[in-house]
Chain A
Amino acid sequence: MPLVVLAGIVLAALPFLGGSQYLATIGLLTAASALVGQGWNLAGGFGGLTSFGSVMFFGIGAYTAAIIQTRWGINPWFGLPAGAALGGLAGAVVGFAAFRAGLRGSYFALVTLAFAEVFHVLSNSLALTGAGLGITLRLAPGLGNFQFLDRRASYAVMLALLVLATALAHWLRASRFGARLVALRENEDAAQALGIDIVRTKTLAFALSGAVIATAGVVYTQTYLYIDPSIAFSVERSVEMLLVAMIGGPGTVWGPILGAIGLHLVADTAQAWIALPGFAAMLYGVVLLAVIRLLPDGIAGMFRRA
């Protein structure tokens, strides 16, 4: 395992050494996938709270960043805590409503999907979010402005957030809260009989997941300086998060990172060869089926068995 960690550090550092914008962009995209995958994993992997709509948190983060600076003139860096807070709040509200009603499994998944669609529709119609036109940020590069011409800087921010999110997963694995979350995933009746508050534990986990995923949305806005409803709330990104966690090994600390690398290797290579519309979505489906069939515990599970 230390060898794997070493390889990971070298891989993560590569884009900084080369000075190539291309490598930095690949690094940024992979780290972004790993970050949302890790965010999804906190609830979906550890707690078995399979959400199909977690892109709502990404969108909330992305719009929070855009709105506070363009509408209210607040420093963009404040977008990170604000986005995380609002993503967490959305997770708490949606989670509480769903878990209070006792929704589980595919019912929960569909409700999250519906909520994501509600946010999509809202962002498409509200003046605050610029409706269908979305929000364009004024180009003003600078560290103080959280805007970078050099992709390596965006990559560094994304990487730092990924490290934080992974530290959170690590804490989850070691803590009482995390153990209770896993117990709920394994057997709800038994967990409740042993004193675990189902609604509270799940709601907290989903809020945590929302906060982490929202930060990826903030960095997205700061990198591309533009956000609109179809980017912010695309179903495809919801699927990507789930896929990254599933491929890597749901409920493991390193799974989402392995999953993101794996998915980008496959998806980017395939897309370079076959440029059909909708191909990515189809490929995701195939990859997911293959993983469920061949690697039920993900890439991380493969390492554990070896």
Chain B
Amino acid sequence: MLEVRGLSKRFGGLQAVRDVDLDVAAGSITALIGPNGAGKTTSFAMIAGFIRPDAGRVALEGRAITALRPDRIAAHGLVRTFQITQPFGGLSVAENIRIGAFLHVAEPAAAMAAARAIGTRLGLGPLLDRPAASLTVAGRKRLELARALATQPRLLLLDEVMAGLNPAEIGEIVGLIREIRTAGVTILLIEHIMQAVASLAERVYVLAEGALIATGSPREIAENPAVIEAYLGHGAAARLARTHSSPFDQAAPHG
């Protein structure tokens, strides 16, 4: 579905993303993880057309989309959310979602009906007529998701939609993401919350200091010494091996 090859980006003296290859199979949930500043959001921004890569190419369903404008890429069915939520502050929640719905529904009343249905489905029902600026963090994350979903995407890029939420809220979002996938949307997500990654993703890519250091199932990733080192520092893998535990043990509850 999505094929990324050799993606690279340098900001001044910092190589933010270095030669990243990534594949997302149609119908799958794929996760991109890594420590802070690893280059995850920058990779998303390049895939979605917001940042022009220095090198590399991106193909969506076999069609090259490298360096197309974000709105063109969205029209092709690839839509991203923002880690730092970007609501249309002066508009109501429903109007926010309707902007997404307008991508494929031209008629204003029909787009509004679709927007309200999606908002309700994502648990924003009672908030639909409130100004988006009044939402809590949890509400804003849901709004990001709802707006993107309203564009009827085929591939959704979710950038930390669970950050800042409490465990109950995370549980709900995990359920929603599963539903979205079941409805036929392929998902690539960035997430720090390992429990959510382990229970959602079939395949995980690990980025550290701009480069991919591992890929595999959540279980394989949790046991990979290179990943443990990247998260906990040099020598951590050896120390943990002595105690026979992994920092990700609690992260894979459903086996």
A: residues with CB less than 8 A from B are: 174-176, 179-180, 182-183, 185-187, 189-198
Contacts and interface: CB of A to CB of B under 8 A. Distances in A.
B87 A180 contact: no
Interface in B58-115: 69-71, 74-75, 79-82, 86-91, 95, 98-100, 102-103, 106-108, 111
Nearest to B85: A190
A183 B87 CA distance: 9
A194 B82 contact: no
B99 A174 contact: no
B71 A179 contact: no
Nearest to A200: B71
A189 B82 contact: yes
A194 B72 CA distance: 10
25 contacts: A176-B108, A179-B108, A180-B102, A183-B99, A186-B90, A187-B89, A190-B82, A190-B99, A191-B99, A192-B69, A192-B71, A192-B74, A193-B80, A193-B82, A193-B148, A194-B79, A194-B99, A194-B100, A194-B102, A194-B147, A194-B148, A195-B74, A195-B75, A195-B79, A195-B102
A-B pairs with the 6 shortest C-beta distances?
A: A186-B88, A195-B74, A190-B86, A195-B103, A192-B70, A183-B99
B151 interface: yes
A176 B48 contact: no
Most chain-A Cβ atoms within 10 A of its Cβ — which of B69, B82, B86, B103?
Answer: B86
Contacts of B69: 192, 197
B50 interface: yes
Contacts of B86: 187, 189-190, 193
A244 B95 CA distance: 27
A176 B102 contact: yes
Nearest to B106: A176
Given A195-B151, A198-B71, A179 B99 contact: yes
Contacts of A175: 108
A194 B151 contact: yes
A195 B48 CA distance: 11
Given A193-B48, A194-B99, A195-B74, A187 B87 contact: yes
Contacts of B74: 192-195
A104 B151 CA distance: 26
A85 B8 CA distance: 47
Given A186-B88, A195-B102, 6 more contacts: A179-B108, A183-B99, A185-B90, A193-B86, A194-B151, A196-B71
B108 A180 contact: no
B175 to A, nearest CB: 24
A246 B179 CA distance: 46
B89 A186 contact: yes
